[in-house]
Structure 1
Amino acid sequence: MADSIAGFRICKKLDNFAESCNILKGYFSSFGAPAKQGDAMTWREMCEADLTDCFNIEPRHMGAEIVGYEPALKIWRLLVRSRCFNSVVIESSTPKHMKRIVASGSSVFVTPDFATQELERPRPYLNSRILASIASKRSVILPESVLCGEDIHCPVDLVVLNGDYLNDSLSQDELDEVHMLLPFTFMEAHLGYRLNRILIEWTGETQRQFHHSSGVWRAVETYAQEDRGLSIMTRKDALSVSGSVAAALFQYQEPILHLHETDKHLLAESLRGGSDSELAARMNLSLASIKKRWLSLFQRVAEVQPTLVPGHREQSWSSYRGPQKRHHILSYVRSHPQEIRPFRWYSGKEL
């Protein structure tokens, strides 16, 4: 587990984006894939009901210093529904304990002006300024239109809001698994975006060591009296560490399928696994609607990338076995996550 504690480092050099994604998917399938029966730890997206438990782990990351606790909680409830917000909750269950949240992480895309301002004038309480901007109707959250492709050539800046775990109440084996899951679920959530700079305000020495042991985070400022500090990761930082998995975050490829929102929704749910009946239940659609969406997706993909659809040259290709076509498309999307970014289907109003 030495490499897991090092965060974003593995021994193999990653030569291209697709290879990076495939290797990471192998890690994900080995360490706590969602809803695997019998796993000690599983992960999923954060929801509103998780917020209190998540901030009980590390209250300082809530960002309530300016607006106060209740307004901050209200803003977080909006954030968890935004496409500009990514998150993970890691849960542990044992024979002695019911399922409980042992770690959580979240991030938000911000405007380049805000990221530049924070780097030029670093101060404590980064999260609180983000929440205060939303409360004042002068949000520094990146407009969703940028993520949705209206300006796809513009790199985006990211702030990691939290990456916290129960340090004192976990066994060493549990800590090792959390140390592995947090960075790799972070990768899973952010691969496929055109990233520019990643900022984080860490709290406490344990968290500082956890991030900086990877070698890819660079210190910007330390606020000794507050027991906090600002760190940054850029493409240059990630590539400077030989064999760094984090380099894959900055190896962006243009999407070629140009999928509709409904297509992205279908593929994102399919990547979680399950039959068409299970997809229908999760998406609140009829089974017939799911099958109709698959057929429409096959037809659109065949128009722009026909090699992904087996039987596309056959006169009756539309009757070609659906599972085979689905397998090819899902395999491609797994190694090219930019095709379905932003990953999340629902969204609230612009923050």
Structure 2
Amino acid sequence: MNQTPVAVRARMARAQDAAAMLGFLERHLWRRTVTDPALLEFCAERLAAGTLRGGMIEEVHNRADDPLVLSAVGASAFVTDEAIAEFLTGDRPMGALDMLLKAGRGEGGILARESDIAAGNSGPGLNLLVIGFAHRYDNPEDPRCRALLARAIGHFVEAHSGFLLKQAAREDPEPVAGVLISSGMREIRRYRLGEMEIALTHRRRDDALPIFPDSITSQILAHAPPIIRFSPAQRGLLELASQGMTDEEIGAALDISINTVKRTWKLIYERVEERAPQVIGPRPAGTAHVRGAERRRHLMSYLKQHPQELRPH
């Protein structure tokens, strides 16, 4: 049977993905069981609140028995100044996992709260800590692995662009570590975890960035303030729409009726027309509104180029 995927797709993890996210990282990165009911509930709550962010990279196969295969997972969080300083100066392997476990046990002063993220995104900036990233391929030279990593790195940029970051830190095995270092992350130290060599990397916003403006590091540290300033409910809908969801799928994911979805879209367009009418484009002569499909296409294109509009402020 052909094992080559026909597509690789990425999406943000939701509360119901907590078990799959943690289980995948346990098997492919941490190599030990850390999940208990309390940690699972904690992560599900934080994913729902947006204070823990997860990426789910799935390979789509052309077969009826198992068309979707979860092939890579990433998890990240915005953390306090004290927490990232402890992570950077600590000498224990998987220090980011230690931070998650401490937060899951109820230790405060580690993960930023929703209000902290909004305030940091409007003022002093945020500390991004990648809790972990792993994929299922043993051979990094496998063409399927290359395609998977390309999409995963692209999704990492999509998931974190638009936030006002003052620094970012992460631990990664090769070849991901090498890609990030070549993009401008600074290697702090390396250690071995079983057969894997892990690099801890870090980058501050005020450090000199690579000359290439489209590098991974440059993209996540670039920032401009939002113009439209959507409400939290509007941002939640738009983030799902930006992942390609239909209105019916958005309603199911947010647990709201299709009428509420449509009403939210109406309020979104009204806000855009009031604050940035050029985004949707001029109305055709003799009509009251730009057609719905055209409005959505223009808005989604704008949000892809201006992800700060989807971030808390």
Instruction: Give the TM-score category using the shorter length.
Output: 0.7 to 0.9
Q: How does the TM-score come out when normalised to structure 1? A: 0.72
The farther-off stretch of 69-78 and 216-225 is 69-78
Alignment of 1:1-351 (within 5 A): 39-46=6-13, 47-50=17-20, 51-60=22-31, 64=34, 71-95=38-62, 98=66, 99-126=68-95, 127-149=97-119, 152-168=122-138, 172-202=142-172, 208-209=177-178, 211-212=180-181, 214-223=182-191, 228-235=198-205, 239-242=209-212, 244-273=215-244, 275-311=246-282, 317=288, 319-342=289-312
CA-to-partner distance for each residue in 1:35-79, whole Å, 9 max, x for gaps? xxx8332222331241323421122487x4xxx756544543444
Q: Distance in 1 between matches of 2:279 and 2:110?
A: 39
Q: Distance in 2 between matches of 1:283 and 1:179?
A: 29
Residue 89 and residue 276 in structure 1: after superposition, are their counterparts in 2 closer, same or farther (change >3 A)? closer
The farther-off stretch of 247-256 and 139-148 is 139-148
Q: Is contact 1:61–1:162 with CA below 8 Å preserved after alignment?
A: no
User: What SS does the corresponding residue of 2:234 show, helix, strand or coil?
Assistant: helix
Shift of 1:275: 4.8
Shift of 1:103: 1.5
Shift of 1:289: 3.1
Q: Is contact 2:189–2:201 with CA below 8 Å preserved after alignment?
A: yes
What letter is aligned with 1:217?
Answer: M
Aligned CA RMSD, in angstroms, stands at 3.4
Shift of 1:206: 5.2
Bigger RCO (CA 8 Å, 6+ sep):
1
Unmatched runs of 5 consecutive residues or more in structure 1: 1-37, 344-351
Unmatched runs of 5 consecutive residues or more in structure 2: none
Q: Is contact 1:146–1:152 with CA below 8 Å preserved after alignment?
A: no
What letter is aligned with 1:118?
Answer: F
The farther-off stretch of 333-342 and 88-97 is 88-97
The alignment covers a number of residue pairs equal to: 299
Residue 207 and residue 334 in structure 1: after superposition, are their counterparts in 2 closer, same or farther (change >3 A)? closer
Q: Distance in 2 between matches of 1:330 and 1:81?
A: 23
CA-to-partner distance for each residue in 1:300-323, whole Å, 9 max, x for gaps? 222222333445799984x55333
Q: Is contact 1:264–1:340 with CA below 8 Å preserved after alignment?
A: yes
Q: How many percent identity over aligned positions? A: 22
Q: How does the TM-score come out when normalised to structure 2? A: 0.79
